[in-house]
Amino acid sequence: MSLKNVLCTASAVAFAATGAFAAELTIAIVNNGHMINMQTVAEAYTEETGVKLNWVALEEGVLREQVTSDTATGGGQYDVINIGMQEAPIWGAAGWIEPLNFSAEYDVEDILPAMRAGLSNDGTLYAAPFYGESSMVMYRKDLTDAAGVTIRDNDSWARVKDAAAAIHDPDNGVYGACLRGKPGWGDNMAFITTVVNSFGGAWFDEEGRPQLDSAMWNEAINFYVDLLGNYGPPGSEGNSFNEILALYNEGKCGMWIDATIAASFLEVDGVEYAQSPNAGNAAGANWLWAWAFAIPAGSPNAEEAQKFIEWATSKEYVQAVGNHPEFGWGSVPTGQRASTYEIAEFKAAAGFAAAEMAAIDSAAPAASDIKPYVGVQFAAIPEFPEVGSAVAQEMAAALSGAKSVEDALAASQAAADAIMREAGYYE
Amino acid sequence: MAIVAQSSKYGQIGRTTLAWIVGLLFFFPIFWLVLTSFKTDADAVKPEFLLFFTPTLENYVNMTENYDYWRFARNSVITSVFATVFTLAVGIPCAYAMAFNPARRTKDVLMWMLSTKMLPAAGVLYPMTFLTKNILGIFDTHFLVIIVLSLINMPIVIWMLFTYFKEIPREIIEAGKMDGVNTWGEIREILIPLAWGGIASTALLCFIFCWNEAYWTVRLTTTDAATLSKLIEGNRAPEGLFFGRLSAVSAAAVGPIVVLGWFCQKQLVQGLTFGAVK
C-alpha cells in the first residue's frame, strides 16, 4: 500500500471516528413516566438525525450527586442533564451549565413565563423545561358532597381544615387530609414552605438570616401539625408523594394537596381539583417546579446537545407523544408550554389541564418584599438543600409528637443560623 | 421418662415451627418481589390484587427491550468474577503470610485493614471522581470497577482467610517445608486443599458483595461499565409508582446470585462454620 493510500485510509478512519463521536449523546435523566416515554419517542429522532442517544436513568438524589460531581470536575460524563428549578439559576450563575440559544421556530416565548423566570439567571435561560408542575388540591367530591362541605379555589386554610374534619372517617379507612410528612427538602418541606408562604412567612430575610423563629412560621407549623396530626393517616411522617399516591388510589384520602402531576396518576373516580388554599397572603399558595434539560459546561458535544434539547422541549415533541400509538394525549408532558393547553385533544384527555395551568400561572418564584429570594417552595441558594434537610427532620419530629412545635422551630432556627453564618451571609 | 420424651417432642415441634416462621419471614421480601414483578404497575399497588391477579410478563419484556438488561448483567458478571479472582489472588498469599509467619505488628496491620472499612464512602466521592476521570482517565471502565470492588472487599477477605488459615496446624505447613516444598508449593499443595471450604465460602461471599455493591458502581460509571445496581437505581422514581417494573428489574438482578447461593449453600455453610466446633 502506498503512503498516499495509507494517509487516505487513516484520514477516512479518523473522520469516521470523529463523526461517530459527535453523533452520540449521553443523557442523564430522572426516572419518571414522561422521561420513560421519551426514550421510546426519541427513536424517531435517532432515525431522523443519526444521533445515538445513551440514556442514563438515575434516582433524583443520585442524579443530583452525580451531575454535581461531574460538573465540578470539568464535565464530560454527560452531554445533556436533567436538572430542576432549584439548580438551574445557581448553576447558570456559577458557569456550570451553558446558556441556551434557540432558533425562532422554537418559540421560546411559548414557554410559560413562570417557568422561564425560574430557569433563568439575569435574564439568560440556562435550562429548557421538559415538564413543569405546581401544586393544587385534589379532593374526592363524592366524600365532600356526602359530608355537606365544599372546597373552593384558594380557599382559606380554616375551611380546608373544616372540610378535612367533616370527611375524616378513620373507622372506614378514610382520612380527611393526606399531606407530605416524610423529611426531606423536596419532600415535607416543599409542602410546608407553601403553607408558611401563605401565612406570610419566609425562609430568610434580605441578609440571609433565617426567619424560622417568626410568628408566621409558628402559626403555619402549628396549623400543619394540627391538620395532619388530627385528620391525616397514621404514620404521616413517613409519607411523601409515592406513599400518598398509593393511599389515594386505595381510596383512603379525602383530599391531597400536592404536585399537579399527581392528577395524571389518580385512578379513583370523582376527583375534583381546586387551587391551593391560602391564609390571606396573595403570593405563594402554589409551588413551582420543572424538570428541565441543560448542557453541562465542558460537554464536547454542546452543539448536538442543543439541537436535542430544542427537539425534546418543542411543540413538535408534544405532538409526537400525543399522536404516538403507545401513549396518546393523556401522556403528553405538561406545564412547560402555553400552546399545549390549547390543544383540543389534550384538553379532552386531561381533566386537570385547566387547574394545572391556573396553578402554574399563579405561582410566583420571583423575589419580593415578603420573600426576598427566588423560588417558591425552596430558596434558590446553594445552601438551601442543607438548611431544608435539617429543618425537615425537625418538622417530622414535631409531626410525630417527638418534639413540640416550638422546640422543633427553635432547633431549626439554630441549625439554619449555623449553616448560613458559616456560609458567610452574615457574622 | 414419658413426660421428658413428650416435652422434648413438643420442644422440637416448637423449634421447628419457630424456624419455619423465621425462615418464611426472611423469604417474604423475595417472594413479594417476584410476585410483584408479574403485576402491572397499576395492579402492583392495589390491595385487591394482593395475591390473586392476572400475571403479565410486560415488565420483563420492557426490561430487556427498553432497558438493555443484558448489558448491565454482562457488566455485573465481568466485574464481580474478575474482582473476586483478583481479591483472592492477593488475599490468599497475604493471609498465608500473616497466619504462618506473623510479625510483631501483624494484629495491628489486620486491625488497620479492617479500619479502612469505617471510612464513609461519600467522603472521598469527589477525589475519586477527579482522580479516575481527570487524571487516570479510567472512569466508567471495567478495569476501574474491578479494582474498586477488589479494594473494598480485600480487608474482609483477608480477615476471613486469616481466620481459616489459623485453624490449620502449623506443623503440617512445617512438614511440607521439611520435605523441601517452596512457599508457592505450600500454598498450592497444602494450604488450598486443606482450607478449600473456607476459601470457597470466602470467594462466594466476596462475589455476593461485589454483585450487590451499589455506591461506587453507580457513581463511577456512566454507560460502558454500569452494573445491575445502576439499572435498579435508575428505576427508582420519586414521582410515580413503578413497583411492577422496579420489582422485575430487582428480581432479575438478584436472581443469579440467589441461584448461585442455592447451589453453593453446602460450601457456604461448611466454610462459615469452619473451626466453629473443635
Q: What is the pLDDT of residue A364?
A: 81
Q: Which one of B126, B130, B239, B246 makes the best mutation probe of the A interface by having the most chain A beta carbons within 10 Å?
A: B239
Parent domain of B186 = 70-234
CA nearest A217: which of A390, A24, A87, A412? A412
Number of domains in chain A: 2
Averaged over A379-407, what is the pLDDT?
A: 94
Which residues from B are below 8 Å from A when comparing CB atoms?
42, 45-47, 66, 125-126, 129-130, 133-134, 139-140, 218-219, 222-223, 226, 230, 233-242
Number of domains in chain B: 1
Query: What is the CA A78 to chain-centroid distance, rounded?
Result: 21
Question: Which amino acid is it at B103?
Answer: A
**pTM (2 d.p.):** 0.80
User: Would you tell me how many other CB atoms lie within 10 Å of the CB of residue A221?
Assistant: 25
pLDDT in tens, B82-101: 999 999 999 999 999 999 98
> How far does the CA of residue A256 sit from the closest CA of chain B (Å)?
15
Q: What is the pLDDT of residue A284?
A: 60
Q: Is residue B267 part of a domain?
A: no
Are A404 and A273 contained in the same domain?
A: yes
Q: In chain A, pLDDT over 70 holds for what percent of residues?
A: 94
Are A380 and A239 contained in the same domain?
A: yes
| Predicted confidence band of residue A98 (pLDDT cuts 50, 70, 90) | very high
For residue B262, pLDDT beyond 70: yes
**Average per-residue pLDDT for chain A:** 89
Report yes or no: A272 at the B interface, CB cutoff 8 Å: no
Q: Which helix (DSSP H) or strand (DSSP E) does residue B252 occupy?
A: helix B243-263
* Residue B94 buriedness (CB in 10 A; 0-12 / 13-18 / 19+): middle
Averaged over A175-186, what is the pLDDT?
A: 94
Q: What is the pLDDT of residue A74?
A: 77
Q: What is the pLDDT of residue A283?
A: 60
CA nearest B151: which of B86, B200, B93, B207? B86
CA–CA distances in Å: residue B121 to residues A112, B128, B231, B232: 41, 10, 20, 20
Return the DSSP state at B188: I
Q: Is residue B197 part of a domain?
A: yes
Question: CATH number, domain at B96?
Answer: 1.10.3720.10
For residue A17, pLDDT beyond 50: no
- Which residues make Cβ contacts (< 8 Å) with residue A3, sequence separation at least 6? none
Are A93 and A146 contained in the same domain?
A: no
If you average pLDDT over each of A76-85, A205-214, A327-336, which comes out highest? A205-214
Q: Verify whether the Cβ–Cβ distance A242 to B140 is below 8 Å.
A: no
pLDDT in tens, A131-142: 999 999 999 999
Q: Is residue A413 part of a domain?
A: yes
Q: In angstroms, rounded to a whole number, what is the distance separating the alpha carbons of residues A335 and A355?
A: 11
For residue A7, pLDDT beyond 80: no
Are A277 and A342 contained in the same domain?
A: no
Q: What is the pLDDT of residue A282?
A: 62
Strands A271-275 and A124-125: what pairing? unpaired
Q: Is residue A361 part of a domain?
A: no
| Predicted confidence band of residue A15 (pLDDT cuts 50, 70, 90) | very low
Q: In angstroms, rounded to a whole number, what is the distance separating the alpha carbons of residues A164 and A15?
A: 67
Q: Is residue B162 part of a domain?
A: yes
Q: Is residue B44 part of a domain?
A: no
C-alpha cell at A158: 380554616
Q: Is residue B156 part of a domain?
A: yes
Q: What is the pLDDT of residue B35?
A: 93
Q: Is residue A358 part of a domain?
A: no
Q: What is the dihedral of CA B124, B127, B129, B133, to 10 degrees?
A: -150
C-alpha cell at A397: 419530629
Q: Verify whether the Cβ–Cβ distance B223 to A57 is below 8 Å.
A: no
- Which residues make Cβ contacts (< 8 Å) with residue A242, sequence separation at least 6? B237, B238, B239, B240, B241
If you average pLDDT over each of A271-275, B125-129, B230-234, which comes out highest? A271-275
Averaged over B246-269, what is the pLDDT?
A: 86
Q: Is residue A248 part of a domain?
A: yes
Q: What is the pLDDT of residue B242?
A: 82
* Residue A165 buriedness (CB in 10 A; 0-12 / 13-18 / 19+): middle
Q: What is the pLDDT of residue A295?
A: 94
**Average per-residue pLDDT for chain B:** 87
Q: Verify whether the Cβ–Cβ distance B233 to A59 is below 8 Å.
A: yes
User: Hey, is A346 helix, strand or coil?
Assistant: helix
For residue B226, pLDDT beyond 60: yes
Q: What is the pLDDT of residue A14?
A: 44
* Residue B146 buriedness (CB in 10 A; 0-12 / 13-18 / 19+): buried
Nearest to A56 among B139, B223, B237 (CB): B223
Q: What is the pLDDT of residue B278?
A: 43
For residue A20, pLDDT beyond 70: no
Are A88 and A37 contained in the same domain?
A: yes
User: Hey, is A82 helix, strand or coil?
Assistant: strand
Are A159 and A19 contained in the same domain?
A: no
Parent domain of A307 = 3-132+288-353
Question: Which amino acid is it at A52?
Answer: K
Nearest to B237 among A32, A78, A249 (CB): A32
Contacts of A33 in chain B (CB under 8 A): 237, 240, 242
Q: In chain B, pLDDT over 70 holds for what percent of residues?
A: 93
pLDDT in tens, B115-158: 888 888 888 888 898 899 889 999 999 999 999 999 999 999 99
Q: What is the pLDDT of residue B3?
A: 63
Cell numbers 452574615 correspond to A426
Q: In angstroms, rounded to a whole number, what is the distance separating the alpha carbons of residues B126 and A23?
A: 29
C-alpha cell at A315: 411543540
Strands A24-30 and A52-58: what pairing? parallel
Averaged over A116-139, what is the pLDDT?
A: 93
For residue A159, pLDDT beyond 80: yes
- Which residues make Cβ contacts (< 8 Å) with residue B18, sequence separation at least 6? none
> How far does the CA of residue A64 sit from the closest CA of chain B (Å)?
11
If you average pLDDT over each of A283-292, A297-306, B258-267, which comes out highest? A297-306
Are A156 and A64 contained in the same domain?
A: no
Q: Verify whether the Cβ–Cβ distance B47 to A250 is below 8 Å.
A: yes
Q: Is residue B118 part of a domain?
A: yes
For residue A10, pLDDT beyond 60: no
C-alpha cell at A88: 438551574
In sequence order, the β-bridge partners of residue A27 are: A55, A80
Cβ-contact A71, A341 below 8 angstroms: no
Averaged over A217-232, what is the pLDDT?
A: 96
Q: Is residue A360 part of a domain?
A: no
Contacts of B223 in chain A (CB under 8 A): 26, 54, 56
Averaged over A340-346, what is the pLDDT?
A: 92
Averaged over A393-398, what is the pLDDT?
A: 96
| Predicted confidence band of residue B275 (pLDDT cuts 50, 70, 90) | low
Q: What angle do CA A96, A101, A107 make, to 5 degrees?
A: 135
Contacts of A40 in chain B (CB under 8 A): 66
Query: What is the CA B61 to chain-centroid distance, rounded?
Result: 27
Which stretch of A203-207, A302-306, B118-122 has the lowest confidence by average pLDDT?
B118-122
Are A303 and A396 contained in the same domain?
A: no
Q: What is the pLDDT of residue B148?
A: 96
Q: Which helix (DSSP H) or strand (DSSP E) does residue B160 occupy?
A: helix B142-166
